[in-house]
Chains A and B, each alone.
Chain A
Amino acid sequence: MAIEFDLDFIFGHINYWLFVILMLTGLYIVVARGNLLKKIVGLNLFQAAVFMLYISMGKISGGTAPILTDNPDEIYSNPLPHVLILTAIVVGIATTSLGLALIVRINESYGTIEEDEILELDRQKSQAEIDQVAKEASRSS
């Protein structure tokens, strides 16, 4: 695979690289930040970057939005990615709200939405259960 890194190539691909940067910012937030709400925002960024990638693939230079006009020589951008992403955005908000609802419930039972504190509470609880079992076992024997 021989690629010429000339100006044409760079201008034709720079949009993909910018999407990659956006996507990675989202990924970084998801991986590095412990706050659950912020993780959801990061996931949304990630998602938006993927949407942009799809839409940019349907674009034809010199084209216009795929709403038919009377001019027969008009060039239209590809409508298919638009359809896919349009529905994906609405599904995205529905699933995001499901995630937010889970966060609300987590906050109600743990009192925090920080990941490390939740894990710590979980660890303490399972440790307490193990202790309990061990105590009962020693008492019965």
Chain B
Amino acid sequence: MELVLTSLLFFALIATAIAIALVRRLFAVVMLAGVFSLLAAMLFVLMDAVDVAFTEAAVGAGISTVLMLGTIALTARSEKQPSSYSLVPLVIVVLTGLVLIYGTLDMPNFGAPDAPVQQHVGPDYIRKTPQDIHVPNVVTAVLASYRGYDTLGETTVVFTAGLGVILLISGLGRRPRRRKRGDD
């Protein structure tokens, strides 16, 4: 059952991704990106990552769609027809893919309990959380307590990115705009 669901989701994800590559209308591209995020969220639920699925659904399908639509409203609504098609990108992509697939060959099987990832800190966190922190959600415990430094860094990155956007396009600090040169 799980396998069927997973493969269906994968099929839908790949179809969406290819559609994104082919469609020229940017509105459709953005909507398909939202669909992609929702499908990805479902896949995360199937892989037991409920917190991640939650975030992906809220961020990918919610905020990022709004922002991209906002960008379209400020720029252009469709992609230009390319003047020439070249094979170079396809070759690059296929080569990269072959290297990546070669890299996966000695990876452990999907869901294997004896994979290297499952040997070190991960099970440790699950074992220690009930005594150390007394919260049921291990993800929150790791996020806020065991790896608090990490999260502080991530929050700072979010802060900095927000600052960058404010500085770039909110027009603060130069409110009375001079319109001397031809403002295009």
Do the two chains touch directly in the complex (Cβ atoms below 8 Å apart)? yes
| Residue positions of A touching B, CB distance < 8 A | 1, 3, 8-9, 11-18, 20-29, 31-35, 37-38, 40-42, 44-45, 48, 51-52, 55-69, 75-83, 85-98, 100-105, 107-109, 111-114, 116-117
B14 is contacted by which of A25, A68, A97, A114 (Cβ under 8 Å)?
A25
Closest 6 CB pairs of A and B: A12-B109, A61-B111, A94-B161, A32-B89, A78-B122, A77-B48
A91 contacts B157, C-beta separation under 8 Å: yes
Give chain B's interface residues, CB within 8 Å of chain A: 6, 10, 13-14, 17-18, 20-21, 26, 29-30, 33, 36-37, 40, 43-44, 47-52, 55-56, 59-60, 63-64, 67-68, 70-72, 74-76, 79-80, 82-83, 86, 89-90, 92-94, 96-97, 100-101, 104-113, 115, 117-118, 121-123, 125-126, 129-130, 136-139, 142-143, 147, 150-151, 154, 157-158, 161-162, 164-165, 168-169, 184
Contact residue among B44, B51, B75, B105 (Cβ-Cβ distance under 8 Å from A104): B75
Interchain Cβ contacts under 8 Å between A and B, 9 examples: A1-B106, A8-B109, A15-B6, A32-B89, A37-B26, A38-B29, A48-B56, A48-B60, A103-B75
Nearest chain B residue, comparing its CB with the CB of A115: B80
Contact B96 A24 (CB under 8 A): yes
Are A24 and B52 in contact (CB-based, < 8 A)? no
- From B59, B71, B126, B184, A111 is in contact (CB under 8 Å) with B184
State the CA gap A95–B59 with chains docked (Å).
Answer: 12
A86 touches B138 (CB 8 A): no
Residue of A nearest to B3 (CB): A11
Interface of A is mostly: helix
Contact B125 A80 (CB under 8 A): yes
Give bound CA distance, A92 to B56, whole Å: 10
- Provide the residues of chain B in CB contact with A75, threshold 8 Å: 113
Report B160 CB to chain A, min CB distance, Å. Answer: 8
A97/B104 in contact, CB under 8 A? no
Known: A79-B126, A82-B52. A44 touches B59 (CB 8 A): no
A76 to chain B: closest CB distance in Å?
A: 5
Task: Tell me, in angstroms, the Cα distance from A88 to B55 when the chains sit together.
Answer: 10
Task: Identify the closest chain B residue to A77 (Cβ).
Answer: B48
Docked complex Cα distance between A113 and B59 (Å) = 25
Q: Is the CB of B40 within 8 A of A51?
A: yes
Give the residue name and chain of the A residue nearest to B50 (CB). Answer: A65
- Of the candidates B52, B60, B79, B92, the one having the most CB atoms from chain A within 10 angstroms of its own CB is B52
- Shortest A78–chain B CB gap in Å is 4
